[in-house]
Structure 1
């Protein structure tokens, strides 16, 4: 099934992935991780037995973390293949870096601001906290812009036909990626070989059907001498024309 294909290609960063494959796996990822998180929150709603509520919360929260870690690598792999499908390089995944670093950067700025305000006046403490909050919001805006750009790229249609990353997944969904040492599907030598082979096939199968004055073949000459038509369907697929066939 298309939704589970990224699990089969767990850590395959080569090749291409169509939009349906990527977004169906994102849906599957969201359902699994969201269900674990929802069950963790719902397990706390047990005031009659706080111990069982806490143990259930810890269990589901652990499953939430394990599911997130298990599905993170195939998500990165299918994202790389989705970028390959539109003809881009997987280095565009670096746009995820600001979103991943934002909690740490914002938290460190806020912690540093709180540490600097110890023993200070109220106005100075408030100013440092506001400055740290503004820096955190700026980092969040940059992270949001990068994530939005990557989101738009995953929505773009893939290139039709093969590109430098592999065959079109719409035509060959399970075809392996075959690359030449030059980095493409076919190098110049291979293309020249294919063209020469096609030319030889065309010349070998060519059967002329036009007669513009050449000497008649022996079956045609014999048929003419016997008073029959000089055209034989077994010799030419169409009645000749020209000086001898008009």
Structure 2
């Protein structure tokens, strides 16, 4: 485990996290492969679980009954700051994932806004998930080169 082979390029967990956080922190142009997207999503979920477990452990050993300890508050503040620092990379990664499907990032914004409407939110969340799961377009599209096969050309009979 640790790497997924897709086409001619292998994108592993650490490579995906490093790429999103260092090279493409707030890059809304270009495309993101499924492996890059899902490895970073796994990293984000593991980070959230680790912070929740840490807050639980700190709260368990605080000795205070019925009150929130200052240690738990500190862990939650750190977790909140981390979540805030990851907003831009997550948004840009999702837009690049839409671009890989040849869909404008403005559709992502529209789905986010529609998700705030009662009873429509679950449908928009499902739509975003489905778009994120589907394969990207083969070869270059209007948003850039294929992240899995950058050498591929648009001409079919080249």
Which of the pair is proportionally richer in strand? 2
Higher relative contact order (CA 8 A, sep 6+): 2
User: Taking structure 2 as the reference length, what is the TM-score of the superposition?
Assistant: 0.77
The CA distance in 2 between the partners of 1:36 and 1:16, in whole Å, is 30
User: Taking structure 1 as the reference length, what is the TM-score of the superposition?
Assistant: 0.51
The CA distance in 1 between the partners of 2:63 and 2:25, in whole Å, is 43
State the partner residue of 2:143.
165
The CA distance in 2 between the partners of 1:92 and 1:163, in whole Å, is 17
User: 4+ residue stretches of structure 1 with deviation over 4 A?
Assistant: none
The CA distance in 2 between the partners of 1:49 and 1:30, in whole Å, is 29
Structure 1 portions without partners, runs of 5+:
103-138, 174-184, 187-246
**1:2 to 2:16 alignment:** yes
- Alpha carbons 2:101, 2:135 under 8 Å: kept: yes
How do 1:99-178 and structure 2 match up within 5 A? 99=115, 101=116, 139=118, 141-172=119-150
The CA distance in 2 between the partners of 1:47 and 1:62, in whole Å, is 17
RMSD: 2.4
- Alpha carbons 1:10, 1:77 under 8 Å: kept: yes
Distance 1:7 1:47, change over 3 A: closer
Which of the pair is proportionally richer in helix? 1
The CA distance in 2 between the partners of 1:76 and 1:54, in whole Å, is 33
**1:13 to 2:28 alignment:** yes
Structure 2 portions without partners, runs of 5+:
1-14
- Alpha carbons 2:62, 2:69 under 8 Å: kept: no
- Choose 1 or 2 for highest CA Rg: 1
